[in-house]
Structure formats: C-alpha cells, structure tokens
Structure 1
Amino acid sequence: MIGLFTDYDGTLAPPERAREEGAIPPELEKVLRELSTLIPVAVVTTKDCHFVRRRVPYAAAYACINGLEVHAGGYMAVAEGLRSAELEQLLPLAQGLDALVEAKRTADGRLAGITIDWRGRGGPPEGLEAVIAEAQRLGLKVLRYSRHPFVDIYGANRDKGDAVKILKALLGVRHVAYMGDSENDIPAWREADVRIVVVNSLNRGLAVEGTIYIEYADLPAYLGEVLKNIKGPEK
C-alpha cells in the first residue's frame, strides 16, 4: 500500500496564508478528501496537532512539532527527553522580539517547540541572534532556513524523517509519496519513495535531488491525476 504524507505550511496552505482558518484552497481540499478515502493521507508538520487536526480533519494520522508528537492508529506518543522546562525559560525572551512567536504544545500541554516568524516585517528582528544563542546554550534544537523568514526551536532532536518511519509502521504503509517545501522536509524526502517539492513564493531555487517539482497553483490538478490513476479506468 502507498500513502501520501504531506507537510502543511507552504505545501497544503500557501505560506502567505498558512496561519489562517480555511487556508487550504477548496479545490485542493476536495481532492485531498477524496484521496483520503482511498489511501492513507498523513500530515507531517512543524505545527502542533491542535492546529493541524482542525484544518485537516480527514487525515489518517498526524506527526506534529517536527515529529515530536505522533497521532496514528488510535495512539498518541511524545518523544522522550522533551526539554519543556528549557523551552518555557526561553519563551519570554522570544516573545520580547518584534515577531510573531508561536508556542507549540503537545496534547497534554507541554511546550515542545517555538517558532519565531517575521513574515511581513522586512527582516529578522533585533535580538534574534541572542535568543538563538540562548536556545543553543539550553541544549535546544534550532532550525534556520535559507529562504524562509522564520526560525524553529524544538525541545528534542527529532525530525520529519523519524516521523515518516513511525507513521509507515503504524499505518502499515510500504511506500510513501511525500510532499514538502523546505529544508526541514529533507529528512522526510530521504525516507520517501516519491519526493515532491511544492514550489511557492518562498522556496524558489530550492534544490533537492531526485524530486518532482510542482508549482503550488498546479497541485490540485496534479493530485487529481493521481486520484484518477488510483481509481483506475471508469467502467
């Protein structure tokens, strides 16, 4: 069996609207819903599960906060060694920056990640490097991006590749098509059989070996063709 695993921010939702309710365009949501009735569709995201479950309720499984929390097959698991206390210590420093700060919590309320996002603000906020240095001093995982105007900080050293391996086992999937749009998707693409880069306004020029490149605007049509192939010829 093949499964479709997908990032959310910049892949299903355009990066300019990813924080909004109903950010997935209707034509894309329609084909995803239909695909989810035929094959397992899983969301592998840096968002927290509370956020993404409301926006993609038809998914079979979720790996959230960069793989730190997984919901699949009736089970929920959180990575061992989560440094929630250190993240709580860092959070007020991050919130003092001129940026949107997103605190990502597990289902049981533990702080597992922080995103510092300066989209629409022109450039990285003053004081960002000091916050990053403190995060590193506290032993937290910091992800920086060459094209994306945000930084992610996590309470454990996991990645989306770990999440893909776990979801494959829990869902009984042998082959995976993975859709993503940024450097944090590289570990997931390594674990996938079909690798799809969704091209959007923030990632043009991103080079990932062995991938298919699909413009964001063309994604509904592409997945529509996938849907037709899975269904087979009409009788």
Structure 2
Amino acid sequence: MPKPQEALHNLDLVDKLNKYVPHILKKEKRILVHRSLSFIQRLSLPKGYPFRNGQQTNTKGCIVWTDYSISSWPLLLSLLKSDKRSFDQVLYQYFIKNDKLIPDWNIIKQQLVEHHTVIKSISIDELDRWYDEISATLIRPQAYHELYQWFGSDVRDIGYDAFDYFMESRNTVDAWQQAINKHLGSISNLPKEQNDYLMNKYLNKIINE
C-alpha cells in the first residue's frame, strides 16, 4: 500500500482526470485477501485514505480499494485538442522522459486545470439514450460504449455524422469510419500517419466486431 501522502496525491490526480477527461478512466474494485488494517493503523491514517478493511461478507478479512486504469491514446488526443503545438512537441511535453514513454502527471494535471473545461461524466443511462438516437446505423451498443472511452462526449456528434453517412451508404462500417476520420481530422496537430495507425490498430476493430 502506498504511503498516505502518495495515496492522497494520486487521489487528487484521479479527481482532476475525472473532472476534465472522465472518459479515459476505468474503475475497478480491488481486494487484498488475508490482510487487514489494525485499529492503530486506522487511527493514524488520514481522512480519505483509499485503502480500508472490507465490510461486506465477501470482503471480510481483506483490504479493499478502488483502482483506476487510464487509456493513454484517448488522453493524448484530449491533450492535442487543447495544446496546439505539433504532435511531437506535445508527446515530448507530456509523455516522453529520458527516451521512455512515461506520463508526466504533474504537467498533465496542470494542463487540464488551465486549459480544459470541467466536463460532466456521462452515465450509462445517458450514453444508452445517445445510442438510441443513432442505433439505426446498426453499430453494436458495446462498440458505441468503447468509442465513448476514446472520444468522450464527442462520440455523440460522431454518431450523428455516422447516421448521416449511413443514410447515404447503408453501410455501418463505412459510415462510422467516415465519421471517426472526420473527427480525427479536426484535430489539426494529429498527423495523418497517426490517424491511420489509430484507425487500423484500434478503431476499425471496434466498429467491425
């Protein structure tokens, strides 16, 4: 378990990410079995420390906490939209340190606070309502949810474009490819090479499944 100061620092990072780019966070409940915090430990830990003893029947005698995984490419796309420098400059500013691809969370957090607006996290129910609006394109609901994890609330406008393209072609894959390429093309500092890489490596797989 991390030291209290480190844990609270990471919680602050999660709070900022959840305010400005909530779609990139994936929440997962974690359990450390056969371990528990003693009464003395609990007294000494600060308020808000995320690790605690389980209270449910299936977590008794365990330490529980909420973990988060972060999608790097969707985060980079969000940073490219707010930082108009070149792709390489943005990559080196926020990710590459000593020739290793490591996010610099302090700089990323500063950029989010100073240049992003607070965005409401979209609930599953609301996302399903958005899907209903464009379900005629025949994309799978699961694929639509995955695209939300890539593009956040922009997926709604992407869906509208896909709907228009679908009305012309009646081809689901083609319509969504056009709509996603239109959106990626609007990110002026995303090179075509990287656009094509994202489509071929990740996004085509989502819309083709």
- TM-score bracket relative to the smaller structure: under 0.3
- Greater Rg over alpha carbons, structure: 2
- The normalised TM-score by structure 1 is 0.25
* TM, length-normalised to structure 2: 0.27
